[in-house]
Structure 1
């Protein structure tokens, strides 16, 4: 029988996730020697090494990999138990972990601000990341739910749309197409486009749309954020495809123009996504219902 404590498992899980004693100590608000002692005691209790050090880096042993799997499952079950107990007390308190795709961060804080005013005793943790990391977080059950554009195929997820997400073509104010109306989509084949990174939801939607309409676009620079795309377009490096929600300031300040292109904008939606097997807490359910019922109204008032 294993004689291990929840404390040892939580410390081990943090070290295994970061593959770093110092980063785990920082996360757990412990000293590094305290973390090392917990791991040493755990290894003595299980009777085998869980980490090995090669140079300055540490790696999980085969036994470490096995225990990491179980420690994550135990941690998630304890978190769900905590959420259920909080649910029994109603929404007087609770925790909510939300991850959002980087493009959604242009409106997510406003939604969370309104939600927090409605439920002031719910502690909200917001993580902004790219699509690839967000998919990993969903697969690993690292958050309650996520806000993203097109949900992925092949994962066992629940995804519900709560707001439109139109994608538009943007150009600098002095671009030759800026004042033209009803521009044929094929005309854009002669323009250079600034591209988001591989795996970006915006890029995937853009490439699928142009491919479906048999228009071959000329990719220019690849950029890792919508902000970089907007700055590059303003500088005259090419055209860009972005969510209309991300350019309100630039449009009002007349720094960018949305091109009037036939068939555009590309019609997409924002989705609230969680694992199908996730037991949502009362706080998570309240936030999900808030998005589905009120997101569009809240943002239209803010605008």
Structure 2
């Protein structure tokens, strides 16, 4: 049996999506090319791996066994590739970072920019995703480090964490919003407008339920679900600027817009929860030299962001 890594990756994608068109799109190849690759793989294995059905494809018993073994092979290959990169040193290293929407908007890009200045030949990929997906990226070893909310990994011994963002949330809206410019906004007034952002951790969901006076729609990250659910905070800001929606965010995420006057703070009479995000990686596994440099930049930028947050709080009377 002669099987190459590309065929393993193709089979993994097809097993994940159970659909040739979707798998081909993920792999950035044509559907006929994927079909030929799977047919060649099955011929090499000597058995059918996928049953073709009108509704899609399903793994055969041989396919189930093959996919399980292929997953281990690909993971070990990635580990070997990383080990070789580590031996070559930082200059030729690579790093894949998973991040949630808030750290992905400021902290992570700033750290990657600093890393690129000091090591311009490093390959770096930022995977901005729903924060609930980040732990799986690490367990699959498709990302080496992550910067995201801690809710899903708290107390999980498989992960090591380091708190980087511990800032209070604030409500913000566009400066032309009907509620802008008021001293304080009542909860009744606040609840008339849609909330835009990412799905929220349970502790934030409990607060929003209290603010709304009733449970929101069901959601996998807690009982409360925002009206406009986005993966990136950049999208949330554009939606706020073009509508009467409201968002929750730490001050540094909207510093430029607050100072420019395009966004403004909404003050409420109840204390808001804090963002608790930071570095996450697999426990007991040494980070590569590239990841260590990235982490050092995160820590440096964290100090700068804390100073900026304190300055913004003082300027807007929140200190």
Q: TM-score with structure 1 length normalisation?
A: 0.77
Contact 2:171 2:246 in 1 (8 A): yes
Q: Determine if the alignment matches structure 1 residue 255 to structure 2 residue 255.
A: no
Contact 1:162 1:292 in 2 (8 A): yes
Match in the other structure for 1:70? 69
Q: Determine if the alignment matches structure 1 residue 96 to structure 2 residue 95.
A: yes
Alpha-carbon distance in 1 for matches of 2:54, 2:190: 50
Structure 1 residues 20 and 238: CA distance shift in structure 2, 3 A:
closer
Equivalent residues in 2 for 1:48-197, closer than 5 Å: 48-55=47-54, 57-107=56-106, 108-153=108-153, 155=156, 156-173=158-175, 175=178, 178-180=181-183, 183=184, 187-189=186-188, 191-192=190-191, 194-196=194-196
Match in the other structure for 2:228? 223
Alpha-carbon distance in 2 for matches of 1:162, 1:7: 38
SS, match of residue 162 in structure 1: strand
Match in the other structure for 2:41? 42
Contact 2:150 2:277 in 1 (8 A): yes
Match in the other structure for 2:296? 289
SS, match of residue 142 in structure 1: coil
TM-superposed deviation, 1:243: 3.2
TM-superposed deviation, 1:175: 4.5
RMSD of equivalent CA atoms: 3.7
SS, match of residue 257 in structure 1: strand
Match in the other structure for 1:208? 206
Between 239-248 and 113-122, report the one with greater CA deviation: 239-248
Structure 1 residues 103 and 42: CA distance shift in structure 2, 3 A:
same
Contact 2:174 2:244 in 1 (8 A): no
SS, match of residue 127 in structure 1: strand
Between 257-266 and 92-101, report the one with greater CA deviation: 257-266
Residue by residue over 1:248-294, the C-alpha shift from the partner in whole angstroms, topping out at 9 and shown as x without a partner, is 34312323321344564533233111233655322223222321344
TM-superposed deviation, 1:50: 0.9
Q: Determine if the alignment matches structure 1 residue 242 to structure 2 residue 244.
A: no
TM-superposed deviation, 1:85: 1.5
Residue by residue over 1:3-22, the C-alpha shift from the partner in whole angstroms, topping out at 9 and shown as x without a partner, is 54445433323433444556
Residue by residue over 1:166-210, the C-alpha shift from the partner in whole angstroms, topping out at 9 and shown as x without a partner, is 310124546557342xx59xx42553153357x723x64433335
Contact 1:147 1:272 in 2 (8 A): yes
Contiguous gaps of at least 5 residues in structure 2? 217-224, 313-319
Alignment length, in residue pairs? 293
Match in the other structure for 2:219? none
Alpha-carbon distance in 2 for matches of 1:29, 1:257: 42
